[in-house]
Amino acid sequence: MQNFVFHNPTKIIFGRKTVPSVGAETAALGKKALLVYGQSSIKQSGLYDQVMSSLAEVGVTVIEHGGTRSNPLLDHVRAGIAKVKKEQVEVIVAVGGGSVIDTAKAIAAGAVVEHDVWKFFIGKKSIKAALPVLTVLTLAAAGSEMNSGMVITNQDTQEKFGFGHRLLFPKISILDPEVTFTVPPDYTAYGAVDAIAHVLEFYMTTQDTDTPVQARFIEGLILDAMESCDRCLADSNDYGGRANLMWTATLALNGLTAAGLGRVGFPMHMIEHSLSALYDVPHGAGLSVVMPGWLQWYLEQNAAPARITQLGRGILPPAEQQELAGESDTVIAERTIAFLRTWFSKVKSPVSLAELDIPAGDIPRIAENALGLAKVWRLKQYTQEVVEDILQRCA
Amino acid sequence: MQNFVFHNPTKIIFGRKTVPSVGAETAALGKKALLVYGQSSIKQSGLYDQVMSSLAEVGVTVIEHGGTRSNPLLDHVRAGIAKVKKEQVEVIVAVGGGSVIDTAKAIAAGAVVEHDVWKFFIGKKSIKAALPVLTVLTLAAAGSEMNSGMVITNQDTQEKFGFGHRLLFPKISILDPEVTFTVPPDYTAYGAVDAIAHVLEFYMTTQDTDTPVQARFIEGLILDAMESCDRCLADSNDYGGRANLMWTATLALNGLTAAGLGRVGFPMHMIEHSLSALYDVPHGAGLSVVMPGWLQWYLEQNAAPARITQLGRGILPPAEQQELAGESDTVIAERTIAFLRTWFSKVKSPVSLAELDIPAGDIPRIAENALGLAKVWRLKQYTQEVVEDILQRCA
């Protein structure tokens, strides 16, 4: 196990009917709030009214900042920062999924400096302070509600960049699984795919495999994501399914699954970010295209596919394990990749560029875009040629 | 899944050569420290010198409070409180295992009130403030380094009582697995047993089994504890074994394994606390006696042994699983109990009262003692008769 520091100060308030706690919790952080949210869905569902009345009850003044879209945009962040500065907002309340929460974090950091917020993303400036952020989660996916990361797309440069900082942990996150009853099947699946992608990156890219504690935790979370997603797709109002999916996605990226693994990379996310930036593909949909292709490439690169085989022993169903007894590591690894791909297809998350209507001829362009992030994320081995090679397997 | 609040603010500094960070981390919390530690072992190992010189380097004044024993005593806590009050200590530094850390927490809470600290334990007073606690962990076992609980024995009343409070989380815990190279085989095993007991209590006593996320996490941690303990016993200086055991024990009781399970109980701990209080048995040794007996009793009480069977499917080795295909739930449950008992014996942790030289004739007396805690912990179903019944299976 590698040395690590783990310090996650986010307070999670989880469960049924927890949304009305937003008022009192916000009031403890500030008297004037910027309310960040996305499209009309929270108004239709009644969540918006619930939050607004809870904030009004405790006398918190609300400045609205709606309209956050998925793959959230830098301009929208900048507009939020302008509002915070003008109105002297004290606390940011994010009501939404990862895009809304990431926007809130970027505003929280950008509002306390004079320079442009994008300088944080390109490594020209570092965060020294941030306003407090409280979240009300509406989508089980990104894990941003309990971590210090954020991802924003610069619409001018078509760059989707992300990073983390200890001052970006939300102070409080309210997770009511009932809020996600209205999430449609496609986005429910994309969320589960996202959670799987997060832990799979850690699992596959760590150089230290003497970390069985983390490996078992991750294998469990992958199965949790699949099972709970299946339940939500079968019955959108299955509370247990929604609750298990929500908590799985949060745990997948709250720092624990990676603690002790040393340096890990996000090569699959890197490639997916290009798909999102260039084609505005939903993040999870892009990930389910990239993951099997990346794993296949990894398997071909590595004479010893031991890590994928280990994953298979952790997640393949007992009957399939039995059937595979005596088979080579490569066969088990291939079955493991097929197992994931098949499940992605089953939940209708795409597994090829073609399904996203992206022609194979675009591969060089996608790879080129990915290289910008490869530099920032220090994924040096991912050259234009390598990324194209991977993308060929995703075509 | 049941509603929960999860908020664990402890900062973990984990890994090789992390002990020298104690000085700077302590200095940030206060300039005068009470150093709580146990017997001579930390002096022999050089850890004491390391901590003292790190604290001296940053100018932290140290008041010593050594001599904490396992099953730590109330009088020793009271003596520590007196020193803190007299010397106006600002921070408590615990260098030790669960007993030392629990002592430090009790001192931290007791030093800021006028009344006797035992009133917290018997529910006559509640904690409103506490001094900051920093820990340097020397034993993978109790999990106290990352939780808000503490257990202290009142030598006058022979009561071993424990409880938790959010102000008792250590601010910082330094976990260097190399520090545990010198832990002898018996205490290494008792530590692993303790970690297993913690998660097994949650697993078995939750009323909400629609919690696969927690179940898989727990099953993984049980296997992690067993495997890493085996490695440490084979080679005391196996860093990977020590690191995985240490992190397992911390994760087992940092709140995550229980979050969402609703009301859980500690019946096995309750009975073990009587063994410790009456016979000064090492905690882990008492637990390995109680666990299989309690599980056997549970199996006999419950017509549907589904939960133990589920545990078996999560932790029994694949070969044994295959062998058990088609067997009844009861058979699988019995094999699961046998699997645990056999492993406890293998690592030389006792599995019967006889091995602890406790005569079966003492059972009524042990049960009687346990009832005091049953009341405090609200384990109403555990009457004198029931506890005797369980203890008969541990004889």
pLDDT value of position A374 = 86
> In this model, does residue A373 exceed pLDDT 90?
no
Q: What pLDDT score was predicted for residue A384?
A: 96
Residue A304's pLDDT is what?
A: 66
pLDDT, average across residues A110-116: 98
Contact check, Cβ <8 Å, B177/A1 = yes
In this structure, is the dihedral angle defined by the CA atoms of residues A176, A179, A181 and A186, taken in order, positive or negative?
Answer: negative
A206-226: pLDDT as tens digits: 999 999 999 999 999 999 999
Which residues neighbour A339 within 8 Å (Cβ) at sequence distance 6 or greater? Answer: A312, A315, A316, A320
Confidence of residue B112 (pLDDT cuts 50, 70, 90): very high
pLDDT for residue B304: 66
Assess whether pLDDT exceeds 90 at residue A71.
Answer: no
CB atoms B224 and A244 under 8 Å: no
- Nearest residue on chain A to B248, alpha-carbon basis: A213
Nearest to A275 by CA among A344, A214, A199, A190: A190
Q: What is the mean pLDDT of residues A105-128?
A: 97
State how far Cα A367 lies from the chain centre: 21
Is residue B2 very low, low, confident or very high in pLDDT (cuts 50, 70, 90)?
Answer: very high
Q: Does A224 sit within 8 Å of B216, measured CB to CB?
A: yes
* Of the partner residues B4, B6, B14, the one whose CB lies closest to the CB of residue A4: B14
Q: Are residues B348 and B186 in contact, defined by beta-carbon separation less than 8 angstroms?
A: yes
Residues of chain A found within 8 Å of residue B3, distances taken between Cβ atoms: 14-16, 18
CB A22 within 8 A of CB A134: yes
Least confident of A262-276, B47-61, B225-239: A262-276
Of residues A358, A382, A363, the one with CA closest to residue A372: A382
- All residues of chain A having their beta carbon less than 8 Å from the beta carbon of residue B226 are none
Residue A171 has pLDDT above 90, yes or no: yes
Test A10 with B13 for CB contact under 8 angstroms: no
Report the C-alpha gap between A248 and A140 in whole angstroms. Answer: 8
Cβ–Cβ contact B21 with A under 8 A: no
Taking only the tens place, the pLDDT of each residue in A299-353 is 998 766 899 999 999 999 988 988 998 899 999 999 999 999 999 999 999 999 9
Residue A379 scores a pLDDT above 70: yes
Mutate which: B134, B247, B322, vs A, most A CBs within 10 A: B247
Sheet holding A133-137, edge to edge: A61-65, A32-37, A91-96, A133-137, A172-175, A11-14, B4-6
pLDDT at B42: 94
**DSSP labels for B306-367?**
HHHHHHHHHHS-HHHHHHTTT--HHHHHHHHHHHHHHHHHHTT---STGGGT--GGGHHHHH
Chain A residue closest in CA terms to B321: A318
CA distance B371 to B17: 45
- Residues of chain B with Cβ-Cβ distance to A2 below 8 Å are 15
Of B3, B11, B240, the CB nearest to A1: B240
Q: Indicate yes or no: CB of B212 within 8 angstroms of CB of A6.
A: no
Residue type, B327: E
| Residue B303 pLDDT > 70 | no
User: Which residues of B are less than 8 Å from A14 in CB distance?
Assistant: 1, 3-6, 259-260
Count of positions (residues) in chain A: 395
Chain B hits for A225, CB-CB cut-off 8 Å, are none
Of the ranges A172-186, A230-244, A269-283, which one carries the lowest mean pLDDT score?
Answer: A269-283
The chain A residue lying nearest B245, using CA atoms, is A213
- Chain B 348-377, CB below 8 Å of chain A: which residues? none
Q: Is the pTM higher than 0.95?
A: yes
B260 touches chain A (CB under 8 A): yes
Q: B223 to chain A: which residues are within 8 Å by CB?
A: 212, 216
Rounded to the nearest angstrom, the minimum Cα separation between B230 and chain A is 14
Minimum distance, in Å, between the CA of residue B187 and any CA atom of chain A: 21
Name the residue of chain B whose CA is nearest to A10's CA.
Answer: B7
CB of B147 less than 8 A from some CB of A: no
DSSP B167: G
Cα–Cα distances in angstroms (integers) from residue A171 to residues A9, A29, B258, in the given order: 7, 9, 22
Distance in Å, alpha carbon of A18 to nearest chain B alpha carbon: 9
Longest dimension (CA), chain B: 68
- Max mean pLDDT range (A7-11, A67-71, A315-319, B274-278): A7-11
Q: Which helix (H) or strand (E) holds A274?
A: helix A267-279
Number of neighbouring beta carbons within 10 Å of residue B210:
16
CB contact under 8 A, B251 and A256: yes
Within 100-119 of A, beta carbons closer than 8 Å to B belong to: none
Between the CA of residue A146 and those of A14, A154, A247, B68, B92, what are the distances in Å? Answer: 12, 24, 10, 37, 29
**A-B contacts at Cβ under 8 angstroms:** 119
- Min distance A237 CA to chain B CA atoms (Å): 14
Closest CB to A15: pick one of B4, B11, B243. Answer: B4
- Res. B163 pLDDT band, cuts 50 70 90: confident
Name the one residue in this structure whose structure tokens are 């260039």. A278
Distance CA B327, CA B312 (A): 12
Cα distance between residue A190 and residue A286, in whole Å: 9
The SS3 assignment for A62 reads: strand
- Candidates B61, B77, B66; CA nearest to B26 is B61
Q: What is the pLDDT of residue B40?
A: 83
Q: Count other C-beta atoms under 10 Å from residue A101's C-beta.
A: 33
Rounded mean pLDDT, B182-191: 97
CB neighbourhood size of B53 (10 A): 12
DSSP state letter for A204: H
Q: pLDDT band at residue A79, thresholds of 50, 70 and 90?
A: very high
Using CA atoms, how far apart are residues A192 and A245, in angstroms rounded to an integer?
7
> Which pair of structure tokens corresponds to residue B56?
């001296």
Cβ atoms of B203 and B307 within 8 Å: the answer is yes
Average pLDDT, chain A: 95
Show the 3-state SS of B178-241.
HHHHHCCHHHHHHHHHHHHHHHHHHHHHCCCCCCHHHHHHHHHHHHHHHHHHHHHHHCCCCHHH
Residue A95 has pLDDT above 80, yes or no: yes
Q: Does A28 touch chain B (CB under 8 A)?
A: no
Mean pLDDT calculated for residue range B378-386: 92
What local confidence, expressed as pLDDT, does residue B39 receive?
A: 84
The phi, psi pair for A88, rounded to 5°, reads: 50, 50
**Residue A243: C-alpha distances to residues A140, A141, B3, B311 (Å):** 9, 12, 10, 21
Contacts of A5 in chain B (CB under 8 A): 11-14
Nearest to A375 by CA among A205, A109, A121, A164: A121
Q: State how far residue B130 is from chain A, nearest Cα, in angstroms.
A: 19
Task: Using an 8 Å CB-CB cutoff, list chain B residues near A227.
Answer: 212
